[in-house]
Amino acid sequence: MKTIIAIAFGGALGALSRYAVSWFTFKHIKTFFPVGTLTVNLIGSFLIGLLWGLFAEIKIPSSVRIFLLIGFLGSFTTFSAFTLDNYAMFKEGKVLAAFTNIFITNFLCLALTFAGIMLAKSLTR
């Protein structure tokens, strides 16, 4: 139960933080480019690397780890988990696997976004 509460509370805070960053950048940076999303992904990627590195060196309760990595950063940005997975593959010398994951994830996610939009349009005609 402690794990579920840590994930839920962290997730709520991460989602609210993502909204706040996106809202702030939308209000204050006038551009067509998705600066809010980019900002969240950059911050999240840095934070997951920082926390992962710290957690490897210092002992903290698993509930805090779960709260921050899965709960908070999981809802703040899933891109941070994607980057950490690729980092692990590069570190293990699985360079081809990492580049394959990067390519497949980006290509297929974009393709499936288009497919979902096309399906929605065809269902609502």
pLDDT in tens, 66-88: 999 999 999 998 788 888 889 99
Claim to verify: residue 66 and residue 108 sit in the same structural domain: no
pLDDT higher than 90, residue 18: yes
Claim to verify: residue 87 and residue 109 sit in the same structural domain: no
Instruction: List the binding residues for Na(+).
Output: 74, 77
Residue-level pLDDT at 21: 94
Claim to verify: residue 122 and residue 66 sit in the same structural domain: no
Does pTM top 0.85 for this prediction? no
Per-residue pLDDT tens over the stretch 43-57:
998 999 899 999 989
Claim to verify: residue 88 and residue 104 sit in the same structural domain: no
To which residue do tokens 């997975």 refer? Answer: 85
In this structure, are residues 45 and 79 in contact, taking their beta carbons and an 8 Å threshold? Answer: yes
pLDDT higher than 90, residue 100: yes
Instruction: List the binding residues.
Output: 74, 77
User: Between residues 13 and 39, which one has the greater pLDDT?
Assistant: 13
pLDDT higher than 80, residue 3: yes
What total of structural domains would you count in the chain?
2
What are the distances in angstroms from CA 37 to CA 22, 26, 43, 68?
Answer: 7, 10, 10, 19
Sorting pLDDT into bands at 50, 70 and 90, what band is 31?
Answer: confident
The mean per-residue pLDDT over the stretch 98-123 comes to 91
Claim to verify: residue 54 and residue 111 sit in the same structural domain: no
